[in-house]
Amino acid sequence: MKERIATPTKTRQIIQKNSFAFKKGYGQNFLIDSNILDNIVSSAEITPEDFVLEIGPGIGSLTQVLAENVRRVLAVEIDSALIPILRQTLAGYDNIEILNQDILKTNLDTLIREKNDGRPIKVVANLPYYITTPILMELLEKHYPVTSLTVMVQKEVAGRMQALPGTKDYGALSVAVQYYCDAEIAMVVPPSCFMPRPKVASAVIMLRVLPERRVKTLDEDLFFHIVKCAFGQRRKTLLNSLSNQGNLGLSKEELTEILRGLGWDERIRGETLGLPEFARLTDAIIHAGGAKPAEPDTAVFR
């Protein structure tokens, strides 16, 4: 095992030697606690046969530990200033490939096919917090061959991913994550484990992708449209949210009938519905002749 990058002294040394300036806009908070890295690796349930995609390797702290535990690591880093640094810090490893790219503009389908013959991969990352949700939704929605995602995110966001109906943290992100995965918070990580220190606590969450979606619905797009609508204005009733924002091609009276047909009070709020209820609602809307509007969804998973 080589000297660990993830110590305060080593990290400071690398930063100073290369005159590297942290870019806040890229969410650069590097891990400087080696124990956390060991915990991430054990939470990720990786094996020596695994191919791991790491998003945002930084100066290589996590990359190094991953490389020592898996067959191959593909690390995608947006900041070109970090590429020569990574070449130095990870010089002794022959199972790491570094790509200087924006993960959100990377064709992951092609990448997984080219780099791992389309076989399943695992994702392990200390994610840049400003794009946590778009990255996760891209990885989950597109049905790539990904078996698990073990990611460091803001603690509050990890809480939302795990949240259950009726709780204050429950929202569209909870439904989306739980539709595709089992979610388990592995550990909470204080700001002191990073350089520079972020303002908030972080958490490592392990998302195990389910072999089948958690619930079946006639139209996945409509299901998510309804979910986003239901949580778009939390203080509104489900009926008002659907009739004001839904554009489902159904009148308020027709929507009221649908809710009654499901045996629900028409004053029900979206935040009380679990995934099976959202699926039943989606199918009832389809049976009543409703559909997702043609224009693309602009709402986001929060």
Choose, by CB under 6 A, the member of 30, 144, 223, 231 that binds ligand SAM: 30
Does the footprint of ligand SAM cover residue 74 (CB under 6 A)?
no
Q: How far is the CB of 179 from ligand SAM (least distance, A)?
A: 24
* b (16+ CB within 10 A) / e for 218-255: ebeebbbbbbbbbbbeeebbbbbbbbebbbbebeeeeb
Q: How far is the CB of 55 from ligand SAM (least distance, A)?
A: 6
Is residue 109 within 8 Å of 136, Cβ to Cβ? no
Residues 6+ apart with CB under 8 A from 84: 18
Tokens coding 86: 């990574």
Does the footprint of ligand SAM cover residue 50 (CB under 6 A)?
no
Does the footprint of ligand SAM cover residue 200 (CB under 6 A)?
no
Q: Taking Cα atoms as reference points, which of 292, 237, 222 lies closest to residue 269?
A: 237
Choose, by CB under 6 A, the member of 33, 44, 53, 57 that binds ligand SAM: 57
Which residue do the tokens 């949240």 mark?
163
Choose, by CB under 6 A, the member of 33, 50, 79, 271 that binds ligand SAM: 79
Choose, by CB under 6 A, the member of 43, 64, 126, 243 that binds ligand SAM: 126
Tokens coding 263: 């045996």
Binding to ligand SAM in span 94-123, by CB under 6 A: 102-104
Q: How far is the CB of 106 from ligand SAM (least distance, A)?
A: 8
Choose, by CB under 6 A, the member of 14, 20, 26, 74 that binds ligand SAM: 26
Tokens coding 195: 């350089």
Choose, by CB under 6 A, the member of 14, 20, 28, 153 that binds ligand SAM: 28
d(CA 176, CA 190): 27
Does the footprint of ligand SAM cover residue 156 (CB under 6 A)?
no
Does the footprint of ligand SAM cover residue 78 (CB under 6 A)?
yes
d(CA 55, CA 48): 20
Q: Total binding residues for ligand SAM by CB under 6 A?
A: 23
Residues 6+ apart with CB under 8 A from 109: 142, 144
Q: How far is the CB of 171 from ligand SAM (least distance, A)?
A: 23
Rounded to a whole number of angstroms, the distance between the first and last alpha carbons of the chain is 40
Residue 163 buriedness (CB in 10 A; 0-12 / 13-18 / 19+): buried
- Closer residue to ligand SAM, CB minimum distance, 53 or 255: 53
Does the footprint of ligand SAM cover residue 241 (CB under 6 A)?
no
In the complex, which residues of this chain contact ligand SAM (CB under 6 A)? 26-31, 55-58, 61-62, 76-79, 82, 102-104, 126, 128, 131
